Structure 1
Amino acid sequence: MTSNAYAGREPVTRTAHDRPWTVDLESEDHAADRRLTIDEAVDAVEQTRAGRHVDLVTHERHGHPSTYLYRPLRAVDRRVELSDEGRCSCGGYVTRVRVDPK
């Protein structure tokens, strides 16, 4: 019997995300490079389909994302709504970015 490993769920390797998803920006590479965090966060928002959201989990070393990440996220060529979802259990910060369907 053959099983489909992706039955009922979206592959994590898919470029454009049709469902809400989470991006882990807490690696040591991200902790050491704020620019990398910003670039990959912006890319994640651009890969999120209209009407959906992405949760960006950023390293605590950079401080609260409102001080460095919100402005670049608002500058993407899409209408977005940002919300502070608080801190995650590992100490990082979670920012939810909803992409307006219009």
Structure 2
Amino acid sequence: MAVVRGILDLLPDGRARVFLSFDLLIADIGSIRILIRDWADRYADPDRELRPIGLSYRDYVLAARQVRDTPLYQRSLDYWRQRITELRRRRSCPWPPIPPR
């Protein structure tokens, strides 16, 4: 199954319609909106330069690591670990055991 799929539908009046499908495992909705916005900008003006991103993947990784050191991250992690335990008690199909940490 494709994680990104595009279909071009040619309409009877000579116009075209583009349909896009993104698997949310590869991008969040905010990123998809940016991609579509930039695509629309380039479509409207092919010579227009794209906006600079301003961040590198390295910047993202470093920021994500910093978040892990916050109390909010720890509270969220604790909440979801507890929630998984509760959901597994109610399960109707088998789940693999949670590996010990």
Query: Above 0.5 in TM-score?
Result: no
TM-score (norm 1): 0.25
Larger radius of gyration: 2
Higher helix share: 2
Determine which structure has greater relative contact order: mean sequence separation of CA pairs < 8 Å that are 6+ residues apart, divided by chain length: 1
